[in-house]
Structure 1
Amino acid sequence: MTLDQKLQQLTGATPEILPDLPECYGARHVTGIAELGIPTLRITNGPVGVGQNDCVDPALATDPNASPYAAYTHPSSAKATALPSGPAVAASFDPEVARTFGGVIGTEMNNLALHVFEAPGVNMARLPVLGRNFEYFGEDPYLTGTMAVNEIQAVHDQGLIAMAKHHVGNEQETNRTTIQETIDERTLHETYLLPFEMAVKDGDVASIMCAYNYVNGVSSCENDYTLNEVLRDQWGFEGYVQSDFFATKSTVPTLLGGMDLMMPTPQQWAPEKLKAALDAGEIQVANIDTALERRYVQMFKYGIFDRPLVQTPIDYAAGGEKAREVGTEGAVLLQNNGALPLAADVQDVVVIGKQTQVYAQQAVAGGVVVGKPMGAGGGSSDVVPTYTVSPVEGLENVLTNLGNTTANVRLVLVDDANNTATIDGEQVTFDAALDAARDADAVVMMAGTISEEGADRATFTDKSGRTRTDIGDDLDWYVDKPNSIATVDGPNAAKNSHTVDMIKAVMAASPSMAEKTALVLKDNAGVAMDPALVGPSGPAILEAWFPGQEDGNIVADLLLGVENPSGKSPFTYPYAGQGFLDNVTTRQFPGDLVDGKQTVEYTEGRHIGYRWYDANVSGECAPAADGSNPCVAFPFGHGLSYTDFEISKPVVTPKKADGTHPIKVQFFVENTGDVAGSEVPQVYVSLPGSANEPPKRLVGFDKVELQPGEKQRVEITIDPAATSHPLSVWDADADRWTTPTGDVKVYVGDSAGDVALAGTVTVRTPAGQAH
């Protein structure tokens, strides 16, 4: 290769008609060099399907009115299956669901002649209002890593490159390109790097994406510590590092700091800038060769040099079927007071939602807004499907399949002020809507928390995103443009839908409402719950996340009992006013100005999600006598079923261990109910007090399918040598993992809030031993 050829291969191309695929106008590729046999490398975004896939309407290339970003975001993008969101995959607590998810993506990437999948996203739900939580796998690093590894392997199995992102500390969308994230080394390794470590060591991930933000004072894409010392030297990563789009800040530091591919355009790696650096002796040709070699090795490994760019038709029906399967596996039944499942012969069903919100009207994915088709939201995870299924359509479809052709499903939409409503489009008073709910056989309310890349669910005094006035961790907060910073007033002012008041009014319509009413949530993440909605007088609550194109069918399958809910929440749902976000400082979010730079500090350390509540960091969350947490409405790992389960007779062996040999946790799981279902027993450990760790951490789980009356023995192994470091802590001084000595308590249960002590293992690690 000539120097010019090498430089051209280091970056993505400016928007162009693809030489290999003239039917595509694209800007997510590295243009190939035909005379050298180097193929065009085509990249698609994720993580919830094949979105922004390097192929929009070629007419946009010459349209003078087209946006300069049309090649990246235009809704004429090649179509694909809009899958359920990342939390749905995580909530399945089933690695096979992650493989199914990755398999759909891999199949459709091959159909569209794509090579690189910019996913999975493995950032943590440090902030429940993080705009991209729906792309990720929740608040626990072990669960996140487990799901990511299986999705990666499914994509790789199809001869494609998976790309774990965003490395690292990319837990805030507000001012994400300039935000300074300060994370102590121990917290960084044990919480935020851990899923990436699992992706590298267990998933053999081919690529890593560096992020927009700064980590401990250094831009993520030129961070020698995270990209070279940790990623390559400590973990042995052999793939390549690609920048997030427009994330880079420099020329020389990025190349020397460990980045290998700049996307989407040459920017700081424009040929003239790299040649100047070469002439000045700041970089060597060998640095360029290394960057290219890392990527070419992966391209050869996955056969990309060996196959032509040929597109084939996508089997949209097959993709939709898999999407429906993933969605039903990942939905979580948070509460049920007898309303669910609905009777198959139900006659009068009222679906209630807000006029200004999508939940009861349209299929829901990230960034969807009322009246616009799916895929028009503008975020990088948008997928353009060939069809969507609305909530009412889904209920009608499933009722018909059950033989009920006489049911009447009515759509009731209520205004924000709860003054007026429409019933199937006819204007009525809110009182008339309540009458309809009171008289119906079944009532299904729908609400949630829409979000999108580019902003968090919070309100600020102005577009600078520096002074917050409110955090939208509830069902009422919304904004017209979820991908833009919300302000107190102005064109993107935060608004109040008064959804919670609507739900309360419906529940108060008659004394028997709890017996026939379900609330379906379609959420970005867990959400703070009004106490009035939780408990015997509240509705049944089904969390469906962002179900994607099969929304209506997924929800209807679960409401009508065609599918038995088996998901477990990957988030904690606090009571309103008692959560982490009610106690968060401005330094924690959105950051304070330090030396003129907006700086966030993870002062909570390793206490995120359920660990924050377990540790009673606020002083208001001391466990009650029954072990429940007064701050938590629904704990991490919680999820009900239409049957009942019992976990019994736990045994932990051995009683003493040397810190290297596996620990076995055995117990029985029995279906004590009347229908078949699946339970997810979870194993947590509490490390010795000397470790100075949060009270417990998830170290294992298993999804067990059982027929009525069936009992099964389950064994979960805790391997101290596992990549997830279940019994270890990061020693920042020694730059290694160490295993604390002392008593390790092992817990088994069906959520982080409902565990029983299974046994204690005394760990004795020889002095100086680590893994």
Structure 2
Amino acid sequence: MTTAVPPDHATLLERLTLDAKVALLTGATTFTLAAEPAIGLGEIRLSDGPTGVRGLKFTGGRIVALLPNATLLASSWDEGSLEETGRLLAEEALAQRIHVVLGPTVNLHRTPLGGRLFEAYSEDPLLTGRLAAAYVRGLQQLGVAATLKHLVANESETDRNTVDSVVDEATLRELYLLPFEIAVADADAWSVMAAYNDVNGRAATEHDRINNGIVKGEWGFRGLIMSDWFATRTAGPAANGGLDLVMPGPGGPWGDALVAAVRAGEVDEAVIDDHLGRLLLLAERVGALGRPRDYPAELPAPDSAVRREQLTRLAARGMTVLSNDHAVLPLDPAASVALIGRHAVETIDMGGGSAQVNPPYQVSVAEGLTARLGDRVTVVDGVEVRTRPVPARGGFLTDPVTGEPGIRVVLLDADGAELEQRHAANATTMVGLDDDFTGAVATVVLRGRITRPGPVELGVLGVGDWRIRAGDAGSTVELRTSGRGFGEEILTPPLHTGRYEVGEGELLEATVTLLTGDQFAGAGLFGLIGHPASRETVDVIDEAVRAAATADVAVVVVGLTEEQETEAVDKSTLHLPGAQDALIEAVAGAARRTVVVVNAATPVIMPWLSRVDAVLWAGLPGQEGGHAVAAALLGDVEPAGRLVTSFPAADGTSPAWSVTPVDGKLVYAEGRFIGYRGHFAGRAPAAPAFWLGHGLGYGAWEYADARLIPGDAPAVSVTVTNTGERDSREVVQLYFQPADHDEPVRLVGWQGVDVPAGGSTRLTVAADARMWRRWDTAAGSWGSVGAGGELLLARGLGDIRATVALG
């Protein structure tokens, strides 16, 4: 195992007692590590960060930039874009003096039901690893640490704190560990996060064979392995198993228990020194050891012109044209457009859970397209898309003190004394997890002034005993967690709503008395719910049909919400929620031309695909989402994305499907044949609707004269010609089909190229040598897949353009 204690750090360790060393190996707070002046160690600040650097507050913190989600960024298949993303996030971190960003997520899209796939890049390990390495390079170039997560076999959320992921050694090595290995080897990632789950019967936080044997040993990883939050279960086994840092703090299973384990001989003090040496190396790298680092005086604000341009371009370039009959896209800017759908007016720009941030604004598709086309756009709301109401948004509630959109929150202690007042712009507030005042909260009072009269739905969310009053109406309710998931109080708190008839300006006030006695006693997410009452589906669809019939083109925006794409909860189906399919069918029957925009990060089933003219997959596009969708639809920025995961044709037709453990175990029975690999080998009930790598862009392509360039990792040269009428970007993909058909086909390389309309270019696609490895379980070492086989040049495996034989 690689040691992380250089001589200069060893002298620092000599100044500390065992108790002082161990104290540094658990977080000081939820998102900070303790300083130790005796050795010149400053506070280290961490932040969640896959799509924005939220800061030290889980909710209600600093306003920060909201980026496109990981699958949308990855759909560019462009390492340069991911490196730019890393630099952008580093600047956002430096503006807050954050040292460590908790990302990227490099788990694979094993099954499309995974609720947290929106944070991860792809179903392919090479694509994931190389894009993650680029992200890490961009982040760490500016002295901010990246954190690869979640190590390992953490591809779904059901029972995520107790599930045992059962994975054979070859599959673990060749697929699920490979993205971590690539990001360590190619970008020297400075930290890794151990997952909640078990792997083959051993907790990830105490998995000696993976953490010490493979990561720190075989890979020579010099960085630090931290736990996911509240994931660590033991003292001695976790310390001996390679975990360097327990998060969060100040409590946890280490502290006195780990000191006792050392004194009892269960843990050698040299193990503690190695853990602390790795922490000191991290501190040195991020400027928290010795002389404090200098921070840039001026960085782009989250709502600056620089950020607007970056975030619009990054989002639009990753959007993917799935179909485009009659060249309806890009839209004619002179055409009249009926823009239809709940996702058009309430565009979903980020997933749920720890990836959420507090952006300066979120641009809807309705706002973005109207800004470009003006009164040529008619906007029509769509059918309901949620079963679970969300906190009030869009100015439905305003703070009765400031008049700003949002609510007023008052925190009281057990004696009724006020601890703090705060404005909550998103109508929610976190209590007890990241408070920075003395005293314990016993009661929370939330108030919002209602801005829209009429029949409305109002309610509350959060664990506790509630008293609710809206105008003259009042009620009481007891809200408790279901007990089915870890951290429900924070990620999916219980809620209650009711229908009210209110006048404009009336006050919604709710008081909750917090509970005591469990792990999250007095902690959780609390908020007010408010929105206009729902309309009948038939009336909504009728209005949409009338609008579509009078426009040159209907653009229907549909998708998922944070109910389906969120931390802590997996999906049960890939079908669009609510009556969205029926809405599309009805509009397609009435409109001259129909374009569907899918506002979702992961695959959805499209039973209406043959009846619409074009489909644009838009992901979760971040704060500039509406502007980015408009730019892609109108061709201001080419939506040159290629899918990063295969889209199944129906539920249950992927090589891996179920996310539900059986007797506590989730068996990765498909082995190395996930996603496109399994489909290509015929190991799935049906071919995918769209393969990994599919995407049309706005060009048309011919491939010619493909030639093999031999070598240990061969390459292929090919001439590509853009036969379309617009300049376009092509992504030439190289797959290897081994001669041994027990070996899966695999992506081994790709090359992006911009070609003007009518132009040609010759390019070379190099293969990654790591994709010729095969883990020999009997020998316990890497071998080769053997000679022979074929290289496939393709636009996804559903569109193979050339085949080159290997000797």
TM-score range, shorter chain: 0.7 to 0.9
Q: 1:753 to 1:388 in 2, by over 3 A?
A: same
Instruction: Quote the Cα distance in structure 2 between the aligned partners of 1:48 and 1:254.
Output: 30
Instruction: Quote the Cα distance in structure 1 between the aligned partners of 2:252 and 2:235.
Output: 5
Is 1:692 the counterpart of 2:762? The answer is: no
Q: How does 1:712-727 map to 2 (within 5 A)?
A: 712-720=761-769, 725-727=770-772
- 1:474 is displaced (CA, Å) by 1.5
- 1:314 is displaced (CA, Å) by 4.7
What residue in structure 2 maps to residue 307 of structure 1?
Answer: 292
What residue in structure 2 maps to residue 8 of structure 1?
Answer: 23
What residue in structure 2 maps to residue 742 of structure 1?
Answer: 787
Instruction: Quote the Cα distance in structure 1 between the aligned partners of 2:123 and 2:738.
Output: 19
Which of 561, 565, 568 lines up with 2:635 in the alignment?
A: 561
TM-score by length of 2: 0.76
Give the 3-state SS of the residue equivalent to 2:729 in structure 1. strand
Which of 541, 554, 568 lines up with 1:455 in the alignment?
A: 568
Is 1:336 the counterpart of 2:353? The answer is: no
What residue in structure 1 maps to residue 314 of structure 2?
Answer: 326
What residue in structure 2 maps to residue 230 of structure 1?
Answer: 214
What residue in structure 2 maps to residue 605 of structure 1?
Answer: 671
Deviations 1:550-606 (A, max 9, x none): 11000000111111221000011121246217x74xxx530111xxxx110000101
- 1:653 is displaced (CA, Å) by 2.6
- 1:107 is displaced (CA, Å) by 0.7
Instruction: Quote the Cα distance in structure 2 between the aligned partners of 1:95 and 1:151.
Output: 8
5+ unaligned residues in a row in structure 1: which ranges?
Answer: 15-26, 57-72, 368-376, 400-404, 459-470, 477-496, 622-630, 763-771
Larger displacement relative to structure 2 (209-218 or 670-679): 670-679
Letter in 2 for 1:685: F
Letter in 1 for 2:104: P
Q: Answer whether contact 1:457 1:472 (CA < 8 A) is retained.
A: no
TM-score by length of 1: 0.80
Instruction: Quote the Cα distance in structure 1 between the aligned partners of 2:37 and 2:217.
Output: 35
Q: How does 1:640-655 map to 2 (within 5 A)?
A: 640-654=696-710
Letter in 1 for 2:100: V
What residue in structure 1 maps to residue 553 of structure 2?
Answer: 442
Instruction: Quote the Cα distance in structure 2 between the aligned partners of 1:578 and 1:363.
Output: 28
Larger displacement relative to structure 2 (323-332 or 301-310): 301-310
- 1:155 is displaced (CA, Å) by 0.5
Deviations 1:113-159 (A, max 9, x none): 01001111000011112111010001111100010000000011001
Q: How does 1:383-402 map to 2 (within 5 A)?
A: 383-399=357-373
What residue in structure 1 maps to residue 476 of structure 2?
Answer: none
Taking only aligned residues, the RMSD between alpha carbons, in angstroms, comes to: 2.2
Q: 1:703 to 1:90 in 2, by over 3 A?
A: same
Q: Answer whether contact 1:529 1:573 (CA < 8 A) is retained.
A: no
Q: Answer whether contact 1:100 1:326 (CA < 8 A) is retained.
A: no
- 1:452 is displaced (CA, Å) by 4.2
Give the 3-state SS of the residue equivalent to 1:409 in structure 2. strand
Q: 1:741 to 1:168 in 2, by over 3 A?
A: same
Deviations 1:344-374 (A, max 9, x none): 122x3222114xxxx222242334xxxxxxx
Q: 1:286 to 1:415 in 2, by over 3 A?
A: closer
- 1:269 is displaced (CA, Å) by 4.1
Deviations 1:404-436 (A, max 9, x none): x5423323323579xxxx99x999553232111
Instruction: Quote the Cα distance in structure 2 between the aligned partners of 1:230 and 1:160.
Output: 25
Structure 1 outlier segments of 4+, above 6 Å: none
Instruction: Quote the Cα distance in structure 1 between the aligned partners of 2:621 and 2:27.
Output: 32
- 1:274 is displaced (CA, Å) by 1.7
- 1:632 is displaced (CA, Å) by 2.0
Deviations 1:314-346 (A, max 9, x none): 522222321111101110000112321111122
What residue in structure 1 maps to residue 614 of structure 2?
Answer: 540
What residue in structure 2 maps to residue 579 of structure 1?
Answer: 653
What residue in structure 2 maps to residue 41 of structure 1?
Answer: 44
Instruction: Quote the Cα distance in structure 2 between the aligned partners of 1:153 and 1:416.
Output: 39
Give the 3-state SS of the residue equivalent to 2:221 in structure 1. coil
Letter in 2 for 1:520: V
Letter in 2 for 1:534: L
What residue in structure 1 maps to residue 7 of structure 2?
Answer: none
What residue in structure 2 maps to residue 28 of structure 1?
Answer: 31
Is 1:174 the counterpart of 2:142? The answer is: no
Deviations 1:671-692 (A, max 9, x none): 1111111010100001121x72
Identity of aligned residues (%): 33
Q: How does 1:506-545 map to 2 (within 5 A)?
A: 506-510=587-591, 512=592, 516-530=593-607, 533-535=608-610, 537-545=611-619
Give the 3-state SS of the residue equivalent to 1:638 in structure 2. coil
Deviations 1:678-709 (A, max 9, x none): 010100001121x7212x11011111101111
Give the 3-state SS of the residue equivalent to 2:90 in structure 1. helix
Q: Answer whether contact 1:97 1:329 (CA < 8 A) is retained.
A: no
Letter in 2 for 1:413: G
Q: How does 1:218-367 map to 2 (within 5 A)?
A: 218-305=202-289, 306-308=291-293, 314-316=300-302, 317=304, 318-337=306-325, 338-346=327-335, 348-354=336-342, 359-367=343-351
Q: Answer whether contact 1:117 1:160 (CA < 8 A) is retained.
A: yes
Q: 1:168 to 1:578 in 2, by over 3 A?
A: closer
Which of 485, 489, 498 lines up with 2:579 in the alignment?
A: 498
- 1:442 is displaced (CA, Å) by 2.1
Is 1:187 the counterpart of 2:257? The answer is: no
Q: Answer whether contact 2:157 2:568 (CA < 8 A) is retained.
A: yes
- 1:310 is displaced (CA, Å) by 6.3
- 1:82 is displaced (CA, Å) by 0.5
Give the 3-state SS of the residue equivalent to 1:287 in structure 2. helix
Deviations 1:221-259 (A, max 9, x none): 100111011111111111110100001110001110001
Which of 729, 735, 740 lines up with 1:678 in the alignment?
A: 729
Instruction: Quote the Cα distance in structure 1 between the aligned partners of 2:206 and 2:768.
Output: 34
Give the 3-state SS of the residue equivalent to 1:245 in structure 2. coil
What residue in structure 2 maps to residue 111 of structure 1?
Answer: 95
Give the 3-state SS of the residue equivalent to 2:757 in structure 1. coil
- 1:398 is displaced (CA, Å) by 2.6
Deviations 1:146-198 (A, max 9, x none): 10000000011001111100000001111101001100000001110110110
Which of 454, 474, 481 lines up with 2:575 in the alignment?
A: 474
Letter in 1 for 2:650: A
Letter in 2 for 1:381: A
Give the 3-state SS of the residue equivalent to 1:713 in structure 2. strand
Q: Answer whether contact 2:114 2:659 (CA < 8 A) is retained.
A: no
Instruction: Quote the Cα distance in structure 2 between the aligned partners of 1:706 and 1:529.
Output: 31
Q: Answer whether contact 2:19 2:259 (CA < 8 A) is retained.
A: no
Instruction: Quote the Cα distance in structure 2 between the aligned partners of 1:270 and 1:749.
Output: 52
- 1:267 is displaced (CA, Å) by 4.0
Q: Answer whether contact 1:113 1:311 (CA < 8 A) is retained.
A: no
- Alignment: residue pair count: 638
Instruction: Quote the Cα distance in structure 1 between the aligned partners of 2:635 and 2:802.
Output: 33
Instruction: Quote the Cα distance in structure 2 between the aligned partners of 1:352 and 1:101.
Output: 31
Is 1:411 the counterpart of 2:380? The answer is: yes
What residue in structure 2 maps to residue 156 of structure 1?
Answer: 140
Deviations 1:280-326 (A, max 9, x none): 11113222111010121132134333435869665222223211111
What residue in structure 1 maps to residue 53 of structure 2?
Answer: 50
Letter in 2 for 1:509: A
Give the 3-state SS of the residue equivalent to 1:548 in structure 2. coil
Q: Answer whether contact 2:26 2:245 (CA < 8 A) is retained.
A: yes
Instruction: Quote the Cα distance in structure 2 between the aligned partners of 1:393 and 1:290.
Output: 54
Instruction: Quote the Cα distance in structure 1 between the aligned partners of 2:205 and 2:219.
Output: 18
Q: Answer whether contact 2:101 2:147 (CA < 8 A) is retained.
A: yes
Instruction: Quote the Cα distance in structure 1 between the aligned partners of 2:581 and 2:535.
Output: 23
Q: Answer whether contact 2:703 2:801 (CA < 8 A) is retained.
A: no
Which of 597, 616, 634 lines up with 2:690 in the alignment?
A: 634
Q: Answer whether contact 1:138 1:525 (CA < 8 A) is retained.
A: no
